[in-house]
Amino acid sequence: MRLTTYTSSSDAVDERYRSAVAAYGRRLAERGDELVYGGTAMGLMGTLADSVRGAGGRVVGVLPRLMADRGLADRRCDELVVTDGMSGRKQVMIERADAFVALPGGFGTLEELLEVLTLRQLGYHDEPVVLYDVDGFYRPLLATFEHLFAQGFARRETAELYVVAGDLEEVFAHLDRP
C-alpha cells in the first residue's frame, strides 16, 4: 500500500511527536507499505523518512523545485520527484496514494489534509483518510469541525470521510479495512 503521509518539517517539536512519527514509519516499513511524503530531511518529515529507511522500507519524496534548489531535498529517497510548484507536488502525492495519513504537523499538513478531505467529499477519490491523533494533537481541529457542523457550514456526514486514530493499532486497523 502506498501511504501518502503528511507531517511537519519543524525541528522544534516535543519528543513525543518525534517518537510517535518514528514508530509509525517503522510499522509502515515492516508491513511492506511505501511512504510517499514531502521529500525533505527536516523535522518530523526527516524522522519519518529515516525511520522507514531504517526498517528497510521504500521512501518516495515529492517536493517543488524551489525547495530542491534551496538544498532541502532528501537525496536518500528511493525515488525523488521534483515538481514545478506546490500544486504539482500535492497532485503527485494524491495520485500516488492508496491512503492518506495526517501525523502531527503545521499549516502545510493542515492545508494538505483539508484538500484531500475536500476532494474526497467531492468524489475525486475514495481513499481512506486517517488523522493520527497523537496525545490529542488533533482535538482542537476536531472541535473546529464540530463547530462547522453545528453552525451548518458542513454536513455532519462529512465526518464519515475521515477516521481519527489514537494509536498505531487504530491507524493500521483502519487502513487494512476492505
* pLDDT tens-digit readout, 38-57: 999 999 999 999 999 999 99
Based on its alpha-carbon atoms, the radius of gyration of the chain, rounded to whole angstroms, reads: 15
* Average pLDDT value over all residues in the chain: 97
With a cut of 90, say whether residue 178 has pLDDT above it: no
With a cut of 90, say whether residue 130 has pLDDT above it: yes
Whether 176 is in a domain gets the answer no
**pLDDT digit string, tens, across residues 75-106:** 999 999 999 999 999 999 999 999 999 999 99
Whether 28 is in a domain gets the answer yes
* 8 A C-beta contact, residue 121 and residue 127: no
Please name every residue paired with 6 in a beta bridge, in sequence order, or none if there are none. Answer: 102
Range of the domain at 86: 2-171
Distance CA 149, CA 1 (A): 32
Please name every residue paired with 82 in a beta bridge, in sequence order, or none if there are none. Answer: 63
Number of domains the chain contains: 1
Nine cell digits for residue 70: 534551496
Residue type at 89?
A: R
Q: Residue 41: give its domain's CATH number.
A: 3.40.50.450
Nine cell digits for residue 173: 486497523
Whether 178 is in a domain gets the answer no
Tell me the whole-structure pTM to 2 decimals.
0.96
Whether 94 is in a domain gets the answer yes
Residues in the chain: 178
Residues of the chain with pLDDT > 70, as a percent, come to 100
Whether 177 is in a domain gets the answer no
